[in-house]
Amino acid sequence: MPIKVLYVEDEEFLGKIVRESLESRGFEVFMEADGAKVLSLFRNSKPDICVLDVMLPNKDGFEVAEEIRHIDTAIPIIFLTAKTQTTDVVKGFNIGGNDYIRKPFSMEELIVRISNALKIKNADTGNINTDSISMGNYQFHLNRQTLTSPDGERKLSFREAELLKLLYANKNKIIDRREILNLLWGNDSFFNSRNLDVYVARIRNYLKEDPSLEIITIKGVGYRFAMS
Amino acid sequence: MPIKVLYVEDEEFLGKIVRESLESRGFEVFMEADGAKVLSLFRNSKPDICVLDVMLPNKDGFEVAEEIRHIDTAIPIIFLTAKTQTTDVVKGFNIGGNDYIRKPFSMEELIVRISNALKIKNADTGNINTDSISMGNYQFHLNRQTLTSPDGERKLSFREAELLKLLYANKNKIIDRREILNLLWGNDSFFNSRNLDVYVARIRNYLKEDPSLEIITIKGVGYRFAMS
DNA sequence: CGGCTATAATGTTAATTAAGGTTAATGAGA
DNA sequence: TCTCATTAACCTTAATTAACATTATAGCCG
């Protein structure tokens, strides 16, 4: 029986990515963009957990949360808040089954929070997280975040590792730039976009010993991680 | 000779109910509402088991537990936590002499937990070194709070041991920084945050003899205790 | 149609900022 | 006084932002 997530988000593209990503990890997602319509969806879907964007048309996330609390006093609620919002206000809600995540957030972070809130034991959440992947001359240890080649071992940072995972998961397929941005950075704004460029450059540099591995740019669209 | 329970609870009504219920089942109950006064009662009453509400005036349950552990490293401690604190990280406390129960709880549940805790403790007393965890070259003795390696034995402080338990309970998974802070320190303020850094450094230092154990930093998110 | 140019997208490297690492000093309680 | 938790000071590294370089493609001109 899948875990049901009620996800309230008005940004269409981000919503789509997050939804798909949650579904790919086995969650059942019920989505709504309009704060005023959440309550009826709540009643119908009977979710296990709610993820609410605070900035919504018609009704903000806090109001929605209050209404939900009238129906169910125990369900965990996770708020998504913009960076600009004062954390004090949010912290007030950080009690009573509530948690909050600052936007932008990575999928990894959202999954961690959801798992925590639901006390999912040992949730490997469908990740490839276990051992290691081999790519050309390299061995990529997911858990340890290291990349080993005949020449030695290199430690990857979290972002580097996440990007490489994503590339590998979509090897020989085109991945949309915006999709990467939304998954790793939580939005596809201009600055994060440049950020991705920087990380792609780093991964390319790390993988340059093996010419059979190549991250090909599809200008205006995304990348393709070519490997035989 | 009745079993003596030290019960620390500040909600008057709940406290009364639980006390009477325990007494009706033959326990002798010593009760206190003020975290700051628990220690002297502990000394005087010499309980067999402690049941501590985590949210207390003056001193929270974790602090109280820490003080009790200084006096008695083996006594079972059961925490009562509010819904908000129920993350799977709390499960980390379900090893060593500690257990936890989420509020609201039934009396049945409390009785069961108390019996279990006492049974386990009694089973252990004949056999001093039983429950320990092995990590790489190390052996972590929960009750004794020691870490043994081929090179020798090291005593851990309460905080060190609690942190290591949390890490172990969540091995190979990302643990949110804020979760650790809330569980070990009761809040995630800036100073406590730096405090966590200090303890992570210590644990890393203690574990450095075995390179297969690594506490990986996920900047801005938390840690992952990688072990094979 | 082939070459030229403008421009937006991406590559590259460096500078900045923020998070965390490390170690020592302080303080508080046995 | 000794131990441990906390605070502080200073150091290192990851992530972000910025600056400038390069490349691909559409539109233009002949």
pLDDT digits (tens, 9 = 90+) for B127-139: 333 477 889 899 8
Q: Which residues of B79-116 are buried (b: 16+ CB within 10 A; e: fewer)?
A: bbbebbbbbbbbbbbebbbbbbbbbebeeeebeebbee
Task: Tell me how close the Cα of A41 comes to any Cα of chain B, in angstroms.
Answer: 24
Q: In whole angstroms, give the CA distance from residue A203 to residue A154.
A: 11
DSSP letter, residue A94? S
CA of A200 to C1' of C9 (A): 14
Q: How many CB atoms lie within 10 A of CB B46?
A: 11
CA of B125 to C1' of D1 (A): 33
- The per-residue pLDDT for B3 is 87
* Contact between A117 and B87 using a beta-carbon 8 Å cutoff: yes
- How many beta-carbon pairs below 8 A join chains A and B? 53
Q: Rounded mean pLDDT of chain B?
A: 80
Beta strands B138-141; B146-149: pairing state: antiparallel
User: Is any atom of nucleic acid chain D found less than 7 Å from the CB of residue A83?
Assistant: no
User: Is any atom of nucleic acid chain D found less than 7 Å from the CB of residue B219?
Assistant: yes
CA of A181 to C1' of D27 (A): 31
User: Is any atom of nucleic acid chain D found less than 7 Å from the CB of residue B1?
Assistant: no
Cis peptide before B76 (omega within 30 of 0): no
Angle formed at CA B95 by CA B47 and CA B80, multiple of 5 degrees: 55
What pLDDT, in 10s, does the model give residues B157-186?
988 998 998 898 888 889 989 888 887 887
Q: Is the pTM of this model over 0.85?
A: no
Task: Tell me how close the Cα of B222 comes to any Cα of chain A, in angstroms.
Answer: 10
- The per-residue pLDDT for B173 is 86
- The per-residue pLDDT for B200 is 97
Closest CB from A95, A116, A120 relative to B179 = A116
Q: In whole angstroms, give the CA distance from residue A207 to residue B98.
A: 47
Q: How many CB atoms lie within 10 A of CB A87?
A: 12
CA nearest to B91 within chain A: A119
- The per-residue pLDDT for B76 is 85
E runs forming strands in A54-130: 77-81, 98-102
CA nearest to A127 within chain B: B173
The answer to whether residue B95 scores a pLDDT higher than 70 is no
CA of A54 to C1' of D20 (A): 39
State the pLDDT confidence band at B96, using cuts at 50, 70 and 90.
Answer: low
Contact indicator for B101, B76 with CB cutoff of 8 Å: no
C-alpha distances (whole Å) from B184 to each of A26, A117, A146, B105, B179 are 32, 17, 30, 22, 8
Which of B45-54, B92-101, B112-121, B214-223 is predicted least confidently? B92-101
- The per-residue pLDDT for B216 is 97
Q: Within 13 Å of residue A8, how many CA atoms lie on the same side as its CB?
A: 34
- The per-residue pLDDT for B92 is 41
With a CB cutoff of 8 Å and minimum separation 6, the contacts of A181 are A187, A188, A189, A192, A193, A196
Task: Judge whether A123 is closer than 8 Å to chain B, CB to CB.
Answer: yes
Residue B118, Cβ density class (10 Å: 0-12 exposed, 13-18 middle, ≥19 buried)? middle
Higher pLDDT, A178 or B72: A178
- The per-residue pLDDT for A224 is 96
Q: In whole angstroms, give the CA distance from residue A17 to residue A179.
A: 7
Closest CB from B86, B87, B218 relative to A158 = B218
Interface test with A, best of B95, B171, B172 (most A CBs within 10 A): B172
Closest CB from A119, A129, A143 relative to B86 = A119
DSSP letter, residue A48? S
- The per-residue pLDDT for A95 is 53
Length of chain B: 228
Q: In whole angstroms, give the CA distance from residue B224 to residue B133.
A: 18
User: Could you say which residues of chain A have pLDDT below 50?
Assistant: 88, 92, 121-129
C-alpha distances (whole Å) from A28 to each of A4, A24, A124, B30 are 5, 9, 17, 48
Contact indicator for A75, A97 with CB cutoff of 8 Å: yes
Provide the positions of strand D that have an atom within 7 A of a protein CB: 3-9, 13-19, 24-25
Task: Judge whether A74 is closer than 8 Å to chain B, CB to CB.
Answer: yes
Point out which residues pair with A51 in neighbouring strands.
A7, A78
Task: Provide the token pair at B75.
Answer: 């006594």
State the pLDDT confidence band at B89, using cuts at 50, 70 and 90.
Answer: very low
Rg value, chain A, Cα: 19
Task: Provide the token pair at A113.
Answer: 């929070």
CA nearest to B211 within chain A: A144
